[in-house]
Amino acid sequence: MDDSEAGTRVNGFAKPFPPKPRQDGPVASQSVSSDAYYVPGVKEKSPFRVLSQQVEISNFSIKDRRFEVRTEIVLLPCEKSLHVLNLHLGRCCLLPCEVSGSTSTITLNGIECHYSRRDSIADVISSRPEKNVLSLESKLNEKLKDFDYNLQITIPKELRKKVKNRKAIRLRVDTVVHNPTRGIQFIDFAEGKEDDVHVYTYHTPYISGAREWTVCLDEPDQLALWELTFELDPDLVPVTSGELQEKREIHGKMRYKFHQTMPTSSCNIGWAIGKFSLEPHPESPTIYTFSLPNLAPFVKHTTMYLDKMVEFLEEKLLCRFPFPTLKVVFVDESTEEIQVYSSLLIVPTAMLYHKKIIDVVQEVRQKLIFAIAQQFFGCLISPSQWFHWWIVRSLARFLTSLYVETKLGTAEARWQLKRAMDDVCDYEHQWGKIVLSPDYTEGKSLPLHVDPRHEYTTSPLYADAMLKKGFLTMRMLQKRIGLEPFMRVLHRVLTVGLDMSERKTTPAAWRHLLTTTDAFFRSVSSVTGREIPSFLDQWVRTGGHAAFSVKFDFNRKRNIVELKISQEDQGSNGRMIYTGPLSLVVQEVDGAFTHTIQIDGPKSEADVPCHSKGRKQKKKKVPILSGEEIEIDLTNMDAESPILWLRLDHDYLLIREVLISQPMFHWEYMLKYERDVIAQMEALEKIQRLPSAHSRSVIVDAVANERFFYRIRCRAAFVLTSVLNRKSEAIAGGTPVLINMFRECFGSKAATNIPRSNNFVVTAQNLQQYFVMQALPQAVSHLRKQSGEWHEDVLSFLLDLVKFNDNSTNRYADDFYRAALYSALGSCIFPTQALPLRVELPENLSSEFRTLIREFTYALNMDTVYPSFGRVVGIAALTGLYQLQKCGYLPVDSKLLWTFTSRNACIQMRRCAVTLIIDRIVTDKHAGDVKQDDLMKLLELVEIEQDPSIRMMIPKLLSQTPPFATYNK
């Protein structure tokens, strides 16, 4: 585009861009203070607001890890007494005074300004006489709330009158980014990999990284129009938030200019630069993928269904995709999460998969749909402050759950729902309550183990658990008001935001692109006409989960169930006292009946009528809650009682944990005949803790039943192993039942001890069989004698599976199946009785352990020469060798693990090696000789490591499992 076209309309957006300050003041200045665009809870923290921002990146050198940035910000004072501009700036983003030989300055409307750098966290640390975490924690949030900025610019006296009249001013800052340690990742491969070099921005899920590469007001409520310009070598391609408006050559460099005309905060602006190849999506002209050399086929296969995901969300929300295009770029050495920016997804290459890989397809598609959902809630609609972040992320997670239920089935969605519920309850029980919307009264302390009111004072574990609890809360709300009204609420929020985003000259209208807890729930009330103050008080403004302990008796004379429900709240255990309605399902011999009982306090009682009499026959067709009629064998139940089982809050209408005291045959009936995945999981958990004499056959039937969801069958296999280990006489004689079951299902007809050649078929039923085939050997590997040794048949069974595994005629790869076999071999290993003494020479080992060493070594070496997908086979083999060291069959030697932590190793192998080293430091009490050295090396690795995923992983694992005693043990 040449300069003569600068005044035309491009992609439907008018130019010039962005708005420049006028002498008589912009129209926006009259609208900022107007209440016409009031949004509940949206309060501007800064005394000025950013209208537009232009960023120009030049002199880009990947080799030197350096580039220059010129930033121009048009800002509008909101206070007449404004004398100082406070902005964000990263430590590696150098100001003109910090660059030797620089003649650049910082100017406001062309007038040079005085400026200085600040460090709030360093100020707090230096001001505290006590150097400990608890002392720091008490003051850090208070300090950050008042001042968390890094750059202070004094407004010249010549502009004070302009500020007093609240006229827009233009700030210009020249900075140099050199050797950044966070926010920007340089991938500069050596040894002939020049084509793979690239650079990209990144952030944690809740901490922005924009300040690391440009001066900005790095707050989610500062929405602005953006212009990004890149001046690069001709072989480099930029990918960024916004649409390409201009591309031309200047003095041997290519100049790219992008416009983001959707009001966007700096938190949602990102970019990537590299030798990418662009490919339009074959089914959608508005989706573009960018791949590194030789990865285009993998990118094409992985992103095949992106257009269908966008269509799914558009249909559910009745709203178009908020940006003109969607760019998806794949990069190396990224964190495990997808980096989400406005109209841009930066995806790790580790998520790419070949068409022959079937194991990771579901997981990758769920991550992609979650990232696309964040384009609606997270990029278009963003939180006004950090502490409202849970709303947009929870809504994106809710939309992902709808996709899972639609595309992967109700069983998978229910299984994920139970996992989220268990994770939240476990976290709150261990660490304390999660408050989604805590009290933000100034100076008020919170009764929580972390302060979640600022992104730098919260805990990553707390943030992850808060997201899960937020998703459960949104689902509870949807169940209360109905799916269609709830989707109308989301549609209303999005359409209002899209409408207000078109008002480019009225920045006050952009407030409707922000959301808060109050604003969202007020939208719920206005759209549905329902007031929900009790819901807010119980689940949003108060932390904790309900914990019900249920006992019941059947009164035969009155034909009723007498319930006693108690709740326990000790304050520190993350629990709360729930009051309100509670659903109860009583499965009787004549059908399933749903009741609603009222909970009034810590102790409640209720009488529930029964609709059936005691059984009169041994077998009967019984209607269950799903509507099916199932023939049930009634011989094991109480002849006087018509009750088969009880379920409390079966649809997860509350965030709760439930302990029901009922006879074991009730749980066995629930596992065998209930079709709800959640009920079957609850039954398996109970049976595993307190198995009866009849439990073994019930679990065996569950593993063998092909109509059951595959995750239930896999879980049942591990539960069966646990039950058999408790009742060791059950496996004292003969071949274990799981081995016989595997041979019957997957063994050759001619010789069942030899498995059939692999023939994976991608249909629903065959895929489930494939995952069960992976799980059974791993469950078998946990079988133990009373002495703790493996069962005689287990090792030979697993070695035969490895030896006779044949994938020559299979169209799909068997990498994950082979990895499962080696993982099973590693799980077989038991500690030697000679510990802490260890076997120094392999010749002193038994033939079985020499065979294990040979198998693991061969698998690790072959995986190095012919890598499996994600190095899963090598990871399993390395873990097996580590287990041999840990259990005393090999000398303790960390050199093997440290070999795979080098930067030349595959990222998955690096993460595995780091995890094993930390496990040795924390759990191996007989490895005292190497623990200290390993810990020091890990801490050094954190300081020098360039890969952000490794750099963040080490402190996270060490904090979760500290190698020392903590104050609360």
Would the pLDDT of 1 be above 60?
Answer: no
Q: Which of 205-209, 682-686, 790-794 is predicted with the least confidence, judged by mean pLDDT? A: 205-209
- Beta-carbon-side half-sphere exposure of residue 196 (alpha carbons within 13 Å): 13
Classify 287 as helix, strand or coil.
Answer: strand
CA 103 to chain centre: 45
Average pLDDT, stretch 83-110? 91
* Rounded Cα distance, 238 and 857, in Å: 44
Tell me what pLDDT residue 444 has: 62
Residue with tokens 């007093």: 164
Tell me what pLDDT residue 30 has: 40
Residue with tokens 């929870």: 394
In this prediction, residue 731 has a pLDDT band, given cuts at 50, 70 and 90, of: low
The strand ranges marked E within 439-505 are: none
* Rounded Cα distance, 856 and 889, in Å: 13
* Rounded Cα distance, 513 and 493, in Å: 8
**Cβ neighbours of residue 597 under 8 Å, at least 6 residues apart?**
563, 565, 581, 582, 584, 604, 606, 608
Length, in residues, of the chain: 969
| DSSP at 628 | -
Q: Do 259 and 242 touch, CB atoms closer than 8 A?
A: yes
The amino acid occupying position 491 is H
Reported as a single tens digit per residue, the pLDDT across 459-487 is 888 999 999 999 999 999 999 999 999 99
Would the pLDDT of 10 be above 50?
Answer: no
Residue with tokens 């290519």: 254
Tokens at residue 262, please? 């959707």
**The pTM of the whole model exceeds 0.85:** yes
* Rounded Cα distance, 741 and 950, in Å: 41
- The strand pair at 151-154 and 84-87 is best described as antiparallel
HEC string for 898-939: HHCCCCCCCHHHHHHHHHHHHHHHHHCCCCHHHHHHHHHHHH
Mean model confidence pLDDT for the chain: 88
Question: Percent of the chain having pLDDT more than 90?
Answer: 66
Reported as a single tens digit per residue, the pLDDT across 817-869 is 999 999 999 999 998 877 777 777 777 788 999 999 999 999 999 999 999 99
Reported as a single tens digit per residue, the pLDDT across 620-653 is 899 999 888 999 888 888 878 899 999 999 999 9
CA terminus-to-terminus distance, the chain: 65
* Rounded Cα distance, 12 and 448, in Å: 49
Reported as a single tens digit per residue, the pLDDT across 45-72 is 889 999 999 999 999 999 899 999 999 9
Q: Do 60 and 233 touch, CB atoms closer than 8 A?
A: yes
Question: Percent of the chain having pLDDT more than 70?
Answer: 91
- The strand pair at 619-623 and 560-567 is best described as unpaired
